[in-house]
Amino acid sequence: MEWAQEYLGQRGLATKYFIEEVDPKVDPLSPDNKLIMTTGPLTGTVASTGGRYSVVTKGALTGAIACSNSGGYFGAELKFAGWDMIIFEGKADKPVYLSIEDDKVELRDAAHLWGKTVFQTEEIIKKSHQDPQTRVCSIGRAGENGVLFACIVNDLHRAAGRSGVGTVMGAKNLKAVAVRGTKGSGGTIKDPKAFMAATKAAKKVLADNAVTGQGLPKYGTQVLMNVINEMGAMPTRNHRDVQFEDARKISGEAMHEKRPTDGKTHLVTNAACFGCTIACGRISRIDETHFSVVNKPEYWGASGGLEYEAAWSLGSANGIGDLEAIQYANVLCNEDGFDPISFGATVAAAMELYDLGILTKADIGIDAPFGSAQALITLAEMTAKGEGFGKIIGMGSARMCEKYGRPELSMGVKKQEFPAYDSRGIQGMGLTYATSNRGACHLRSYTVASEVLGIPVKTDPLVTEGKADLVKAFQDATSVFDSAGVCVFTTFAWTLADLQPQLDAACEGNWTMEKLALLGERVWNMERIFNNAAGFTAKDDDLPPRLKTEAAKTGPAKGLVSGIDKMRPEYYKVRGWTPEGVPTKETLDRLGL
C-alpha cells in the first residue's frame, strides 16, 4: 500500500513492480519475463471511462517495456472480484487459463481452448462456467503462433493491443483469464460524497465538450480520417505519400452513408466501454455481398470497428479504399488477436517490397500491389492462421524488411510500427514516436490534440519550436491518466485539474496537482531507465530515413521533412537527461528515483 500512495495504480504502480522484479535484459519470451494485468484506482467506479486495465511486460515486438491499455468490461470485473493486479511469472507446462470467481482463483487446463480464436474462447468459457456474466480476456491463434504483435483481447473487440503483449502471454502458455466478480468496488473510497460530486462534475465537462460530447459519439475516432488527410499528415503507401485520394471512402462520414448494395449503413451503432459517457466505439456490419465475406455468414453479424487507427493502417497505409474489406481484416485482427496497426503497416512494407520487385507473387502467395484489398485480406487470414507468408508478416515490418535487405523501409521506431499520423505534417508526433518508451505510438503523447485540434492550446503542426516542451507535458500527463484507470480520450476535455478531485476523493495519499505532475514524470523516467538498462540508446530515439530525407509531396506540409534531429536534443534537455538520453543524477534525485 505504500507503493500505491506513491505510484497511484495501473501503469504507474505496475511499472514500479515490474522494474523491481524483472531484469531489463530478459528475453521477452522467456519464463523470466513477467506479465502484469493491472487496474487503476478509478477502474470499476462511476468515474467516466473508469473501466480501463493495462498489461505491463517487456514487449515481444520491441524488447522495450510495454504498457498496453484496454477498455471493455474486463478491468472493472477484475476489480469487482476484489483484485487490483495479477502478476504472471514463469511459464506453464501446458496450456492453461486463469479462472477467477471472487476469492476462488485457479489455473485450469486449457487444452480444449488452444488453437481456438478469441471469439470461440470467450464463448466456450462462458458456457462451461455456466455464467454469461463472466468476462474474458484471451489470446487468439496469433498469440499462440508467436506473431510478434499479438494482442490480448477482451470482451470480443477491445484489446491491449500494442507491442506484442499477447505474444508474451502465449509464451507463458496462458490462453485466457476469466473473471467474475460479485464483491463490487468503492468500499475503500476515501470520501464517497466528494467522489460522487467530483465524478458528476467531470462527466458534465465531457458532455459539454464538442469532441467528447459530439464528435466522438457520432463518428468515433474516425472523425479524424478526413481532417488528418486534409492536413497532409495521412501516411499513405508506406509513407511514400502524405495524402490518400480515397480517404473519404473509408472515413467516419462514409460509415454513416447507406450502401448502394443493401441500403444499410456500415455503422450499426456506437458503443461505450465500462463506465464511459463518451461512447466513441464503433459497431459495424460488413456488406454480406462483399467478396471478402460472401460465403462466410459468421462474419455477417455486427462486430467492433472501425476505429481511426485501424482504418488507416488497413486502408490508407496500403492505399486501399475499400471500407468493407478493411473492416473484414479488422474483425480478423480482433478474432485472432493481432494488432491492426502493426499488421496493416507491415503489409504496407510488404507491398512496397513487392512494388520494388524484392518480393514476388511466389514469395507472398498472391500478387500484392498497393491498393489490393484481396492481398490485404488474404494476408490477414494467413497471419491469423500462421500459414505461408503470414509467418513473415507476423515478424513485424522491422524484422521482415531486415530479412529482405531493406531495413530502412520499416516505418516505425524501436521495431514498432507508426500509427496514423505523418511526422512531416505533424512535427510533434515525430518526437512523440521517437521518444515513446514502448516504440512508435500515438497514445504516449497525443500532440495531435494541440497541433490539430487546439487542445488545450493550438500549436503550429509544421514547426519544431516548442515541441520538446509540448511532448514532455503530454507524456507526463498521459502517464497520470494511464495510472488512474480512466481513458486517455477524456483528455480532449479534461485536464489534470478535472482528474485530480476525482483521484483525491477516491485515494489515500493526498493527491495534489503537484504530486500528480511529479508522478507522471516519474513513471516516464522509470520506463526510460528500464529501456536504457535493456540496451536502448539515443540512436533508438530516431525515425526512419524516409521521414528525414523524403519531403512531403502534397498538402500543407509539402516540401517538409521531420525535424526530429533538431527536436531530440531539445527534448533531452527539457527532460533533464544527458545528450545521450540518460537521466542525470539531479533529475533522478528530484524525482526520488
269 interacts with another protein by CB under 8 A: yes
Beta-carbon count within 10 A of 201 CB: 12
Q: Round to whole Å and give the CA distance between 566 and 431.
A: 10
Judged by CB under 8 A, which of 273, 325, 462, 484 binds another protein?
Answer: 273
Residue type, 245: E
374 interacts with another protein by CB under 8 A: no
Q: Round to whole Å and give the CA distance between 342 and 333.
A: 11
| Minimum distance of another protein from residue 49's CB (angstroms) | 9
Which lies closer to another protein via its Cβ, residue 204 or residue 406? 204
Which lies closer to another protein via its Cβ, residue 196 or residue 574? 196
Distances (CA, A) of 434 to 9, 187, 316: 26, 42, 22
Query: Considering only residues 111-170, where is the footprint of another protein by CB under 8 A?
Result: 133, 156
| Minimum distance of another protein from residue 151's CB (angstroms) | 18
The CA-based angle 42-482-185, given to 5 degrees, is 15
Q: Which residue has the cell 470482451?
A: 155
Residue 37: left (phi > 0), alpha (psi -120 to 50), or beta? beta
| Minimum distance of another protein from residue 263's CB (angstroms) | 17
30 interacts with another protein by CB under 8 A: no
Judged by CB under 8 A, which of 5, 128, 270, 495 binds another protein?
Answer: 270
Judged by CB under 8 A, which of 92, 194, 205, 272 binds another protein?
Answer: 272
Judged by CB under 8 A, which of 7, 274, 536, 577 binds another protein?
Answer: 274
| Minimum distance of another protein from residue 215's CB (angstroms) | 15
Binding string, residues 61-100; x marks residues near another protein by CB under 8 A: ------------x--x---x--------------------
Cβ partners under 8 Å of residue 140, min gap 6 = 116, 117, 118, 121, 150, 153, 166, 335, 336, 337, 338, 384
Cis peptide before 306 (omega within 30 of 0): yes
Report DSSP letters for 90-108, one per residue.
S--SS-EEEEEETTEEEEE
Q: Round to whole Å and give the CA distance between 593 and 577.
A: 14
502 interacts with another protein by CB under 8 A: no
Binding string, residues 280-319; x marks residues near another protein by CB under 8 A: -x-xxx---------------xxx----------------
Residue type, 588: L
Which lies closer to another protein via its Cβ, residue 180 or residue 472? 180
Judged by CB under 8 A, which of 63, 75, 161, 275 binds another protein?
Answer: 275
Judged by CB under 8 A, which of 26, 207, 518, 574 binds another protein?
Answer: 207
* Spatial contact of 39 and 14, defined as CB atoms under 8 Å apart: no
| Minimum distance of another protein from residue 9's CB (angstroms) | 16
Which lies closer to another protein via its Cβ, residue 331 or residue 561? 331
| Minimum distance of another protein from residue 154's CB (angstroms) | 13
Q: How many residues of this chain bind another protein (CB under 8 A)?
A: 38
For the chain, the straight-line distance linking the first and the last C-alpha, in angstroms and rounded, comes to 18
Of the candidates 409, 414, 385, 445, the one whose C-alpha atom is nearest the C-alpha of residue 163 is 414
187 interacts with another protein by CB under 8 A: yes
Mapping DSSP onto H, E and C, the string for 347-389 reads: HHHHHHHHHCCCCCHHHHCCCCCCCCHHHHHHHHHHHHHCCCC
Binding string, residues 223-262; x marks residues near another protein by CB under 8 A: ----------------------------------------
Sites of contact with another protein (CB under 8 A): 44-46, 48, 73, 76, 80, 133, 156, 181-187, 196, 203, 207, 217, 268-277, 279, 281, 283-285, 301-303
